[in-house]
Amino acid sequence: MNRKTLFLILLILIVVFSVFYLRNRQERGPVTDGFEEVKLYFSTKDAMYLEAEKRKIEAEKSNKYEETINELIKGPASKELNRTIPEGVKIREVRIEGNIAYLDFNQALVANHWGGSTGEIMTVYSIVNTITQFPEVDYVKILVEGQEIETLAGHLDTSIVLEPDRNLIKE
């Protein structure tokens, strides 16, 4: 065997092992400490933008979407941000069909909402932008008590599936 071939075989072995190692690490990575870091979008003080706040959720729980929404409901830790979900709101069910997440909330989402175009945009897109951070989700459909709603607070059309609005995000 000449030195050139030996070198080639060695190189191939290194490449193969490192690919396996990296793939393994990627799969296991978030689970190692039992937590996954997610972005939660809350309203800026002037309600002009949504700003991400990072928070760890328990990744091993079967439904990370529900956990993420529950964290969103809790509101921001930063005093510079405002909550976007009214008091008393609970998530009833999260269902993923294809690339659409169906999020079913209780009546409080509508009944306790503070209204206003801006108020409604902040609430809806804090939900939509937060859930679409997961690459497998492209669209969100908001349901209340299992039903489709025409609108949440009288402005946005919530009878359709919603895409994230990146223009609202303040980096």
Partner 1 sequence: MSGYRSRNLSYILIIISLFLFFNIVVKGENIHIHINGQDKSQELAPVVQDNVVYVKARELARLFNAEINWQQSIKTLSISDGQVLIKMMLGNPYIQVNNRTMRSKGSLLLLYGHTYLPIEDIARCFGFLFNREGNNIYLSRPETFIRDIRWGKGGQAIVIEMDNIVPYRINNTNNPARLELELEKAALADDFTDNISNKNFYLAVTPVAEEARLKISIISQYPIPFLGDRSIAEDGENLVINFLPYITGIRWKKDQLEITASGQMARPEIMLLQEPRRLVIDIPDLMLSDFELELDNNPWIKDVRVSQFTYDPIVLRVVLELYPDRYLHLLEDTVSSGKLVFNTTERTSLTDLAFEGNGIRFISDNKISPEIFKLKEPDRLVINILNADRGEGFRDRIDVNSELLKSIRTSRFNEETIRIVADLKQDIGYSLLERQLSDGRFMNIILFENSFKELLINDSELKTDLVLSFTGEVDYEIKESSGTLVLEVSGVKSAADYRVPAPLGVIKDIKVKPSTERGEGIRFEFATGEYDNYKVFSSKPATSITLSLMKGKIKDRKISNLILLDPGHGGFDPGAVGPSGLTEKDVNLAVALLTAEILQREGYNVMLTRNDDRFISLKDRVEMANSLEAMLFVSIHSNSANATYSEGTETFIAPNKVASSQLLADALQQNLLKELKRYDRGVKKENFYVIKYTDMPAALVEVAFISNPHEESLLASNLFREKAARAIAQGIMEYMQKINNGS
Instruction: Give the residues lining the site for partner 1 (CB under 8 A).
Output: 43, 45-48, 82-84, 86, 114-119, 121-122, 150-151, 153-157, 160, 162
Which is closer to partner 1, CB of 30 or CB of 116?
A: 116
Q: How far is the CB of 90 from partner 1 (least distance, A)?
A: 18
Which is closer to partner 1, CB of 71 or CB of 165?
A: 165
Paired tokens of 97: 């069909």
Q: How far is the CB of 43 from partner 1 (least distance, A)?
A: 7
Per DSSP, the residues of 55-110 read EEEETTSS-HHHHHHHHHHH--SSTTEE--S-TT--EEEEEEETTEEEEEE-THHH
Backbone angles phi, psi at 157, to 5 degrees: -85, 105
Q: How far is the CB of 128 from partner 1 (least distance, A)?
A: 11
| Contact assessment for residue 25 and residue 97, using Cβ atoms and an 8 Å cutoff | no
Which is closer to partner 1, CB of 35 or CB of 49?
A: 49
